[in-house]
Each structure stands twice: as C-alpha cells, then as structure tokens.
Structure 1
C-alpha cells in the first residue's frame, strides 16, 4: 500500500503525519502481520525447551502457562511499540519502530530452562528484568560504544543467532523433541507439513506483491495448518478444548512465574543487551534513511535504546520476554514509503488487544509443531542470511578472517559439544555453551586488541588464494 493518494511526498516522510483512518488502520495491521509469527515464536520455543510446550508429556497441564507466554508476547510487544511511537520523556524515538520479542536471547534462555519445566522460569524473568534495566542504561552511552561493534562483530553475532537456532527448526519439522524416540519422528507426513509452509512462503515472497508478500510466513503457516487438518494432524477436539479453556479476556499478572536472581541469567541477558542495542541502532538508521532520507539523530538513537530496555524490564515483571526493534518492519517502511509513527501506533493497539484475549493464544497453541517448524526454518534461515549480508560489508583481510574464524569456531563448537566444558562452574558453563556469548565476546576483544597493521598483509595462506576482492565481492569470472 504505497499509493501516493495517502498524502503528499512531504507528508509521507513526516513521522508526525497521520493518514486518514480508513487508510491508517490497514497500514497498521500490515505492520502486525509482518512480525506476528516472529513475535510469538520465542515463547513457543522456550516453552518447548522447558518441557511444557508442543507435544510434551506436560503439554496438557502446561496449556495455561504456554498460552500466557504467547499472550504476553503480543501484549508487551504492543506496549513497547507505544514507547517508541508515542514516547515518554526521554524514552522512545518517536519514530515508526515496531517492537517484538527478540530472537537474540533465545540461545541464552534455552540452556537456562532445558527440561526444567515452569520451575526454571523465575530465573529467566529475573534476568529479563535486570537485563532490561541494564539495556536502558546503555542508551546513555550507546553512541560511544558503536566503534567496538563494527559489521564484523555484529554480522558474526547475527549469523550465530541463526546458526544456534536452525536445529530447532529441523527438530520441529521432524515432529518435535518429545517425539524423537517415537517411530513417527522424521516421517514423510511430518516433513510434508513443514515443506508446505516453506514452499507457500517462498512462492508468496517471490511471486506475490503488497500484503501477500509482507504476510508470506503468516499465510504459509495458515495453509500448512489447513493441510495438517486435512491429513489428520489436527484434531477438532483439540481445537475446541483449547478454545473452551481460554478465558474471554485476561490481564497480565505481576510475577506470574516468580522472580529469582540467577548469575548466569543476569550476566547472559546483560551481555546480549549490547547486541540488541546495536541491532536497534541499525534499525533506527534504516527507518530514517528509508522513510525520510536522512540520518538518525543522537536523541532518536538514545530514545530507541531506552525504549528497548524499559519495554523489556516491564515485560519481565509480568512474564514477557525481551523486546527489540523488528527489522522486517524497517523494510516495510522502505517499501511503502510511509513514515507515519501513528500508523504503527494503530498496529501496537491491535497487538495489545490480541494480548488481552487468551483465545488468540489458544488458537496459536493448536498449530501442529511440524507446521510451526516450516515457518521457523524460514525465519531462522533469514536471520543467518541477514548476518551474512552484514558480513558482506567487511574488508576480508587476514586480521578480520582470523577474528571471524576463531570466534565462530569456539562459539559454535562449544554449542555443539557442551560436555567439553562440563567441569566449569554452573554459571560459566551455561554462558559458554550458549554459543552466542563466547563468539560475541571473543570477536569484540580480538577486534579491539589485534593491530590494524595486519590489514595490508596478503591473505592467500588463509583464504585459498581468494584475496584482494574488496568488501563482500566475489572474484572476477573472466
């Protein structure tokens, strides 16, 4: 929806402009559709890892808890978005920034909750709250630390987020972790549901336009859901039960799952806050460049970072996970050319409405794990691709290649073989086996201490002769 009849070119580039309501409402809902599945997926993954999610033996008993986590994901994504669009003192960029539950923290949360059930959640939410306040604090000096987080570091971190999570997509598509010991795990039927989602999503992304392309993952999951129904993978009894169990309306409960100080959780969330803050800086810059053709101001960058942290901390008090700006909505603003923050405010109100209606979460809860797996493969694959795209801006000299190689190898290696550090203290072991944190830490430290003099040296010995091909470019074919 980029019809210039919505406003003049000057109005479309103005964050304070409000289109007519009949145009602003569908534009706002369009923003929600672009991020909806990505926003609720972290809650589903964490619940599944803890043992009360899809297909687990505790699934029936854990139904209210999982529905509540999904509900809070929607509610506090909407509230955090209002912090960005409307603002509150220094909090908020007052730009069309859509907030949502962050993928970046999933590799931190999974080791904390793995197989421990609801009892593991107090430590997680303790980390969310403390990490949120720390994230807000970063807003006071975010401009001064950007030098320590160049594309080499941020690209590596984003790539690692995707790489540490792709396993989840494969497991879901095959039938889910609880089904691993069952004959149907990895069956053609399970994979067929995931593949339907993948193919429909790809078809819409590449051959459709407008709302269909923007909502490709949502539509892909809906089509996969219908396919699963036809194939008998969804029982109507399960749907009616989910609908009946959910209350008509429910408000967030303070400390629903409790609160606990865990060194591993607090350190992990605080360290990941730096990565999330840098991601937000990139999104704010992308919005101002793509929507208004200008650079973001220091006040906008600081305000956006404050909103990230405050939104995360408040969500943690009520059982919500960390929030961050959503990059897919940055692309949507560039595509539509509509910079209005009030359009995004309407989308935020729609998210809040959905978050107060548990039946929305109950319906999401009935999606077969194999169908969700198809969507997760696409989403996490795109995270990896986004990281690779960021790495294309790196000058691949020997220094940068060494930093990348060491950081990736150690981080991913410890993730794949956690027993390699089994004798470390519990807190340190949880941080090291996240994969993401050791990679990020090593990359930042090496980038700061290794001399730039290496930049001019030949790279043949470590790159197979493919040296001297600029930033992200390929060798000539002639």
Structure 2
C-alpha cells in the first residue's frame, strides 16, 4: 500500500486539520520547547569557542530564530515545488558546529579579526547551501539509493545519536561533568520528575492534556529547578533590546578550501534531511513511497537548501529539518501543518527580542534531558517502523545490521577509522554518516532477487 490507514492513526489532528487557536498555540509552544535550546545553543557554542563579542553572539542567536521561522514557513506552506508541506520545523544544523569552530579557530590563529572570520564562514555557508538545492533535482533518479531501508537506517541512527545527547543532559550536562556533579541526586531527580510528568500526561485521554504533556513536564521541572537554585540567569545580562537583521552584516569573503569542507557537510546533510522528512511523513500518516512522497521529499530538500541560503545571508549558521519534532508529533498526536505556521510566526517575532530567546537557555540540562531522552527514543522507533515497512528479508537484515554495527561502533570510538585520509575520515567519524553511507553502499552492492525486485517497491517508485 502507498498510504497509511487512518483507522490505525493515533493522530489528534492530521496534516490538513485546523485545530482551534488555543490548541494550536499549545501545540506550537510544545514544539518550540523541544527545539528552542538546541536552536540557540550552536550559536552560543560557536560564539564561546571563537571568543566572539557578546553583541555578535546575541546577533547569531537572534538570526537563528528568525531564519528558522522563515524556513518553517516555507516548509509547511509548500510554495510550488518548494517545501515538504509537512509539519517540518527548520532549525540550526548541529553538524556544522565543529566545522565552524575548526575553521574559525584556524583563522583566529592566523590573526584574522572577528568580522573577517564571520565573513568567511557565512560566505562558504551561503555558497554551499546551493549544493543542497541542486541535489533536490536529482533525488528522483536515486531509486536504488533512497529506499525505505536506507531512509529507515538514517532515521534510526539520528534517534540513537540524539539519545546520547538526551541522557547526558539527563545527568546534568557537560557542565555537571566538569564540576563533578554529573549524575547526582538533584540532576537525576529532576530528569525523572520531568520524564514521569511527560509520560503521565501522554497517557491521558484528553487531547489537550496529551498535547501539552511535554510543555507541562518542562514547566514543572523548571519550577522545581528554581526552588533548588539550579537556574542561572547570568546569560540574560547586557543584551540589546531589539535586533534588526542586516544581510551580509559581516561582509562576503569566500575561501575555496573552506568551501570544500563545508560543502562536504552540506552534501552529507541531504541524507539526514531525507531521513527526517521520511520520518515526518511516517508519523503524520502520509505515504513514504510513490508520487506524493517524492514531491514532498524534493520540495523539503529544496527548501532545506534555500533556507540555509537565507540563514547564511542573515548571519545564522546553516539550517536543516529538525528530527526532534517527529518525536513531538508522535507524543502529542498533532501533525497539522497549520500549527507550523504559528510556530514560524512566533520564531520570527522572538528573533527580534534576543532576551526572550536567551531565556530558554536558562532551562537546566536535566529538565531538558528528562523530556528529550523519551522524544529522541521515539525518533529511533520511527526509523524502525520505516525499516519494517519495507520488510526484513535476508538482504535488508544484512544492510541494517551492518549499518548499525558500523554506525554505533563509530559513536563508541570515533578514532577507529583514524588511519583513513582526512577527507574520508570526516565522512565516517559521524555515526549518522557512517551508518547512512554503509546502508547506501550495501543497498547498491547487494543484488535484489528477481522476485523481490518485482514484488517490493522502494521509496521512490510509482504507487501500485
């Protein structure tokens, strides 16, 4: 079948449903709580690592929110061929954080000043984003590459990789590791409190309570953290009242050697975007094969690239479709793209007021970890569902098992392939890339049996 049965759906609001405003607002806030800290954190990390000024870092954070709002609006509204038409939330791509720090640090050691560093980083990000736009046009020709098995492996690896982030936050985060408080009673207690509240509300019959489960869990955890004295408001000091976007604020200085590195990460991010969009279609009860799916996939990847073009021009790190929101859709039962419009508007408005965005960074790590650990696990389960939808015959089992083995193996010890040339090592040191590339290669090398070829459609074939 090319679609899902509505009878089996647990969605409260399907893709085209229009919830009442107050329920849309609850759904939008729930999604925002899931992405806000991950959205602004990359800019904060890069700003700290490169020792950027407070004003510059605040500007990067504000532009991340504004660009995310613009990107989300493009994705959910689907203008012509642009956008997936799903509840696809755009946010900063974590894959670029280490690359930006490495390139920026090298320029800093060579004596480059702050504006020139940002000018170069944003320029190569701007040009590299067109690689993603271009890749959207060749997706239909990749029938043997982007199968449900490959997409499922990528989504599964995304979920499993994010679980590590969630469980570290659950124990207190990296700051707690540095201070020796990681895994203490306060951190574990807060994480468990949020986890139990989220689970409890998601077991309720009331759609409204179910929709607000994550938001309530985070709020309860935040209040408890306030009483425990675990909330730090120091990051709210010395911020400008309002931030106005300035295209190419830091200039445009293109370095080809930097472009090669950034361009490689962009091309790898296409695979992640395909997996995320597939997962969103799956949890939204939309087809993951056939013409509709291919149109959504092409439009979603194209929007991914265009959004990063806009983000880089405004002064934000590159963006991508966020996997976290697939977990929110599963847990809340809200897949309406009309909620996405509200999310987009709120993000743009908040981007003009940096103090609001920075406020969300005061949420303690264990509070986030309590909710995110469960949500990230939901993403992994979505990947398993995609894999199973294509069947688990001997061929698919070999592909999935090998991809998981190498992908998870890299996550346990990234130096296992250190002997490879630097250009290749960059591709395999990331668990998502290692698992995804393995799945692609095996999917191409291991032949399909004749009866499987004729009986089993892949994600890009026409519907029966």
Q: Same fold (TM over 0.5)?
A: yes
Alignment of 1:67-466 (within 5 A): 67-86=58-77, 90-92=81-83, 95=85, 97-101=87-91, 105-106=93-94, 108-109=95-96, 111-112=98-99, 128-207=125-204, 209-234=206-231, 238-239=232-233, 241-254=234-247, 261-277=258-274, 279-280=276-277, 283=280, 289=286, 296=292, 301-317=297-313, 318-324=315-321, 328=326, 331=329, 341=338, 344-453=340-449
Q: Which structure has more RCO (C-alpha within 8 Å, separation ≥ 6)?
A: 2
* Partner SS, residue 52 of structure 1: helix
Q: CA deviation at 1:136?
A: 1.9
d(CA) in 1 for partners of 2:443, 2:386: 16
d(CA) in 2 for partners of 1:174, 1:408: 26
Structure 2 gaps, min length 5? 1-12, 108-116, 453-464
d(CA) in 1 for partners of 2:187, 2:104: 25
Counterpart contact for 2:144–2:444, Cα < 8 Å: no
Counterpart contact for 2:44–2:61, Cα < 8 Å: no
d(CA) in 1 for partners of 2:438, 2:410: 13
Change over 3 Å in CA distance of 1:420–1:331 after alignment to 2: closer
Instruction: Note the alpha carbon deviations across 1:430-478, whole angstroms, 9 max, x for none.
Output: 322112112111211211221123988xxxxxxxxxxxxxxxxxxxxxx
d(CA) in 2 for partners of 1:173, 1:73: 25
* Partner SS, residue 392 of structure 1: helix
Counterpart contact for 1:35–1:100, Cα < 8 Å: no
Q: CA deviation at 1:69?
A: 4.8
Alignment of 1:2-81 (within 5 A): 25-43=21-39, 46=42, 52=48, 67-81=58-72
Q: CA deviation at 1:388?
A: 1.8
d(CA) in 2 for partners of 1:425, 1:349: 45
Instruction: Note the alpha carbon deviations across 1:364-422, whole angstroms, 9 max, x for none.
Output: 12112222222332232222222122222242222222212222212221232122233
Counterpart contact for 2:153–2:400, Cα < 8 Å: yes
Structure 2 partner of 1:474: none
Question: Could you state the TM-score of these two structures normalised by the residue count of structure 1?
Answer: 0.74
Instruction: Note the alpha carbon deviations across 1:263-310, whole angstroms, 9 max, x for none.
Output: 3332122122133135436646876849xxx97386555444322221
What RMSD in Å do the two structures reach over aligned CA positions? Answer: 3.9
Change over 3 Å in CA distance of 1:220–1:163 after alignment to 2: same
Structure 1 gaps, min length 5? 1-11, 457-478
